[in-house]
Amino acid sequence: MTTLKSRLQEDLTEAIRARDELRSSTLRLTLAAITKEEVSGKSARELSDDEVQKVIAKEAKKRREAAEAFAQGGRTEQAEREKAEGVVLDAYLPQQLSDEELRAVVAGAVEEAKAAGAEGPRAMGAVMKIVNPQVAGRAEGGRVAATVKQLLAG
C-alpha cells in the first residue's frame, strides 16, 4: 500500500475515534474515490503516491466547485461544509504556488518559448508544455492557463 493511502486510512481511523464527523466522512469519500480509481480499467492495480495525490486533488477541486455552486444558490450552510471538506483534503496536497510564484515560473517559460521562436497567443501550447511539469500538483490548470494567456497577451 502506498504511504499516502495508508496515511489517509490511519487518519480516518483517528477521526472516527475522535468522533470527528466532517473529517471522517471526507476521508471515507476520498478513500472510496481512490479505490474506484484502483479497480477501474481492465485489471485492478495499486495506485502510486502521485496517482493518489491526483485523486485527492480532483476531490478537492470538486469540493471547491460545489462550494461555489451552493454559495450562488444561496445555500450557505452546504457551501461552508464543502469548503471545510476542501480544507481537510488540502492538508494532503503539496503547498499551492502563490500568484507571484506562478507568475515567475510562467514568465520564465514564456521567455524560453520566445527563444525557441514561439510568440503571441499561438505560443500557448509551447508555454504550457514547459510550465506543466514544473507546477504539477502545485497549481490548478485553469489558473496556469489564465496566467499564461495574460503574460502572452501583454
Radius of gyration, alpha carbons of the chain:
19
| Cell numbers placing 95 | 503547498
Q: How far, in Å, are 28, 48, 97, 106 from residue 149 at the CA level?
A: 38, 33, 18, 10
User: How much is the pLDDT for 122?
Assistant: 74
**pLDDT tens digits, 17-65:** 999 999 999 999 999 999 998 888 788 888 888 888 888 888 988 999 9
**Is 70 exceeded by the pLDDT of residue 154?**
no
**pLDDT tens digits, 140-150:** 777 878 888 87
CB 139 within 8 A of CB 61: no
